[in-house]
Amino acid sequence: MSKKYEEIAEELRRRIDQGIYREGKMLPQQIALAEEFGVSRMTLKKAMDILAMEGLLFRKRGVGTFVHKSTLWNTANYKATEYRGLTVQLPDKKVESEIISFDIQFPTEKLQTLLMLDSNEAVYHIVRLRIVDKKPYILEDTYYVVDIVKNLTEEIIYESIYEYIRSNLELKVGGAYRKISADIPTELDIEHLEATDRTPILEVEQVVYLANGVPFEYSKSRSRYDMRSYTITDIIPN
Amino acid sequence: MSKKYEEIAEELRRRIDQGIYREGKMLPQQIALAEEFGVSRMTLKKAMDILAMEGLLFRKRGVGTFVHKSTLWNTANYKATEYRGLTVQLPDKKVESEIISFDIQFPTEKLQTLLMLDSNEAVYHIVRLRIVDKKPYILEDTYYVVDIVKNLTEEIIYESIYEYIRSNLELKVGGAYRKISADIPTELDIEHLEATDRTPILEVEQVVYLANGVPFEYSKSRSRYDMRSYTITDIIPN
DNA sequence: CAGTGGTCTAGACCACAGC
DNA sequence: CTGTGGTCTAGACCACTGC
């Protein structure tokens, strides 16, 4: 974190959290804040753009900058824009894993397309049940590119794969494409998610990219309808 | 559309569509493109940022700018980031509506919070079934702020409310908060969506904001699991 | 009118990839 | 080392709001 606008965004986020800036009118305008942080106005605005896209701030030309009212969205149980893995999303909870299968294979044609692979570049295939506070939570069916997510072991899979990617491999996630849908339960769902054959399932299918644009993960995550939902904050900054 | 970066983004999008820029390396770099369009490099980069967030482009520092491979995501049946209404999302289809109920009422406490209203500021309450190619598609339960979405009539509701908001009221949508979940069907779902009591339902709950930050719509849209899914392109531009 | 945020510039400098 | 994209600046000008 050496970029000025990220640091300023962080600081502003902190001030909103702490109630230094409250619902209603905000700081002494962009110019004053730019001066306070010792940056140009464009850099300050870029920091604000981040918070605006997160839905924390909104701005009215000719009026000023305001803190958005926090609603059910901020207390939501899961943000779609979050790649750091379940361990980070649920810091208060005990997150465990049960490994249902773990092997290495050559990619299918679909995987070759989605992950930009040749047919001889292997992928890990992992089926894993995430357990939160002793309750089955998510059934993940995941493929990782072996050349990128090197040397996966059962221990890593049992803990947090994303923590391994970030800390040990020092890779940075840059984004994802996701498809969210509802579905009828499969045999595997019924077996592992404490579902019946009529429990609706929420599925998230995704391709995750590194910051350099290279895809490294394809996965489908399934949960019982009453265990999880997804929120999206989708603001176009002015 | 008077902003240069929007015009440039539009033009670049067109070039990608037409295959002038293909998968692989792209244009003569930012400086050359900036010159071509007669703008500064920062402005050009801002145009590219838009396309990067849409997932069309990705850039590698030290290398260049590339067109992203189009995959199932681009052919997806519904993008979560789309406010222009069903009529626009499904241009090839015949979209009709059945109005199940339409009245005006005072907001509940929850609505007052979500839509920033006082208890005496009325809302329209509309329950509407959207029918696509003669098939029931989405059951919408929507509240609009009367002071903003003025003079709603049954005719408007029968056609496209978003078209009315854009063309007649000349209001610009700025964003939305959404929550996507799966659910068990209600009586209303079963009655109108050709569902049984064991058909999973996909629900989208949302608050939609104008470009000036004022919320004007709260709604829940429900579909059968096999009729619809949502895609999210979620890229952090470098 | 004064005051707010949004756009745009021309150029400097930095970070990273690949030869 | 060269060429790419990313950051940042200082300041000009525009667009909108509200008095």
Secondary structure class of A87 (helix, strand, coil) = helix
The predicted structure's pLDDT at residue A139: 96
CA-to-CA dists, residue B132 to A154, A156, B86, angstroms: 48, 47, 9
Domain residue limits, chain B: 4-67, 77-231
pLDDT per residue as tens digits for the range B76-91: 555 555 666 666 666 6
- Scanning every strand, the nucleotide with its C1' closest to A60's CA turns out to be C5
Compute the Cα dihedral for B180, B183, B187, B190 and give only its sign: positive
Geometric angle at alpha carbon A165, from A160 and A166, rounded to 5°: 100
Best CA proximity match to A103, nearest among A125, A128, A129: A125
What is the CATH number that goes with domain A4-67? 1.10.10.10
Mean pLDDT, 10 residues at a time, over chain A (238 residues)?
90 89 79 94 95 86 84 55 63 82 94 86 94 92 91 85 80 85 96 95 92 87 93 78
Chain A partners within 8 Å of B212 (Cβ): 60
Given pLDDT bands bounded at 50, 70 and 90, which one contains residue B171? confident
Q: Do B71 and A233 touch (CB under 8 A)?
A: no
Angle of the A4-17 helix axis to the A41-53 helix axis, nearest 10:
50
The residue whose CA lies nearest the C1' of nucleotide D5 is: B61
| B183 neighbourhood in chain A, CB within 8 Å | 182, 200, 225
| Count of other CB atoms within 10 angstroms of residue A170 | 7
The percentage of residues in chain B with a pLDDT greater than 70, rounded to a whole number, is 89
- Does domain A77-231 fall into CATH 3.40.50.1980? no
**B185 CA, D12 C1': Å apart:** 59
With a CB cutoff of 8 Å and minimum separation 6, the contacts of A124 are A102, A103, A104, A142, A143, A144, A146, A149, A152
What is the spatial order of strands in the sheet that B64-67 belongs to? B24-25, B64-67, B57-60
Q: What are phi and psi of B183, to 5 degrees?
A: -155, 165
Q: Which two tokens stand for residue B93?
A: 């289809």
C-alpha pair distances (Å), A8 with each of A15, A43, A49, A75: 11, 9, 11, 24
pLDDT at residue B137 in the model: 92
Give distance CA B69 / C1' D1 (Å): 32
* pLDDT score, position B210: 84
User: Which of the residues A43, A111, A231, A234 would you substitute to probe the B interface, choosing the one with the greatest number of B C-beta atoms within 10 Å?
Assistant: A234
| B28 closest-nt by C1' vs CA | D4
Partner-chain contact B238 A114, CB within 8 Å:
no
Q: Which of B59, B113, B231 sits opposite A177 (nearest CB)?
A: B231
Distance CA(B191)–CA(B175), nearest Å, equals 32
- Give the closest of B182, B198, B228 to A198, CB-based: B198
| Under 8 Å between Cβ of A116 and A215 | yes
Does residue B43 reach within 7 angstroms of strand C, measured from its CB? Answer: yes
Of A221-230, B10-19, B152-161, B196-205, the least confident: B152-161
Q: Decide which of A39 and B229 is more confident.
A: A39
Q: List the one residue out of A235, A237, A234, A238 whose CA is nearest residue A80.
A: A234
A window 133-152, beta carbon within 8 A of B = none
Which residue in this structure is represented by tokens 């965004």? A9
Residue A177 forms contact with B (CB below 8 Å): yes
Instruction: Report yes or no: A62 at the B interface, CB cutoff 8 Å.
Output: no
Predicted confidence at residue A209, as pLDDT, reads: 85
Residue A215 backbone phi and psi in degrees, to 5 = -75, 140
Task: Name the residue facing A181 among B58, B176, B229 (closest C-beta).
Answer: B229
Chain B within 8 Å of A113 (Cβ-Cβ)?
Answer: yes
Gap from A65 CA to D17 C1', Å: 13
Nearest to B121 by CA among B85, B96, B148, B97: B148
Q: CB-based contact (8 Å) between A238 and chain B?
A: yes
What is the model's pLDDT at position A70?
Answer: 63
Residues 6+ away with beta carbon under 8 Å from B156 = B164
Mean pLDDT is lowest, of A62-71, B65-74, B92-101, B138-147, for B65-74
For residues B72 and B63, is the Cβ–Cβ distance under 8 A?
Answer: no
For residues B161 and B171, what is the distance between their CA atoms, to the nearest angstrom? 12
pLDDT tier for residue B163 given thresholds of 50, 70 and 90: confident
Looking at the partner chain, which of A116, A213, A231 has a beta carbon nearest the beta carbon of B179? A231
**Average pLDDT of chain B, as a whole number:** 86
DSSP assigned state of A90: -
Q: How far apart are the two ends of chain B, measured CA to CA in Å?
A: 26
Helical segments of A55-186, H only: 86-89, 109-114, 154-158, 161-163
Quote the tokens at residue A90: 């649920």
User: Residues with Cβ < 8 Å from B123, sequence gap 6 or more?
Assistant: B104, B105, B106, B107, B111, B115, B117, B143, B144, B145, B146
pLDDT tens digit sequence for B32-77: 999 999 999 999 999 999 998 888 888 888 889 988 876 555 555 5
Query: Taking CB atoms and an 8 Å cutoff, what residues of chain B touch A213?
Result: 58-60, 66, 68
Contact B58 A209 (CB under 8 A): yes
Best of A179, A183, A218, A221 to substitute, by most chain B Cβ atoms within 10 angstroms, is A179
